[in-house]
Amino acid sequence: MSRIGKMPIALTDKVEARIDADNITIKGPLGELSFGLCSQVKVTQEEGNIVVAPVGEDASAMWGTTRSVIANMIEGVSTGFKKSLEINGVGYKFEVQGKKLILSIGFSHKVDVEVPEGIKVEMDEKAKNIIHISGIDKQRVGQFASKIKAKKKPEPYKGKGIKYVGEHIRRKAGKSGAK
């Protein structure tokens, strides 16, 4: 029995849902998202709520997953998702040129990252070393933020690299700590 799966998902007045046989489409003020449903779950719309129910005995894994994906779609088209990355290091910087993010992160060359469709990349107004990544699809926003972070992960001695805002990096003492 899935505790997450059995909870109904409330639709706001700004968001509308269309359920087909094997697809659900959520439309809101920020855009439209669709998700292909698997045959192990049944999705219905009742009184302003979306209810996900299992079909068969082996449906418990897909039951909670489908409910979470639909809830994230509703939140995405109504408010959107945002991830923030922080670049630390002497001379480490970035700039946004059209649909490209250009990173200067300690290599002999600049690293160009193509920004996917539906994702918006901005620089913070106050801090010049913070990147804000936003969009309506939670999975795509997180995947793109992870892709940027993987270009230069923070190292444990000086903390140079790209990390999420608020992420704690375990630091090591270095050579002087061995004595």
According to DSSP, the β-strands at 93-97 and 100-104 are: antiparallel
List phi, psi (to 5°) of 118.
90, 0
* Model confidence pLDDT, tens digit, residues 17-38: 999 988 999 999 999 999 999 8
Domains identified in the chain and CATH numbers: 9-78 (3.90.930.12), 81-164 (3.90.930.12)
- Which amino acid is it at 154? P
CB 163 within 8 A of CB 146: no
Q: Is the dihedral of CA 74, 75, 77, 82 positive or negative?
A: negative
pTM of the model: 0.88
The 10s digit of each residue's pLDDT in 125-168 is: 898 899 999 999 999 999 999 999 999 999 999 889 999 999 99
Q: Please state, in angstroms and rounded to a whole number, the distance separating the CA atoms of residues 119 and 84.
A: 13
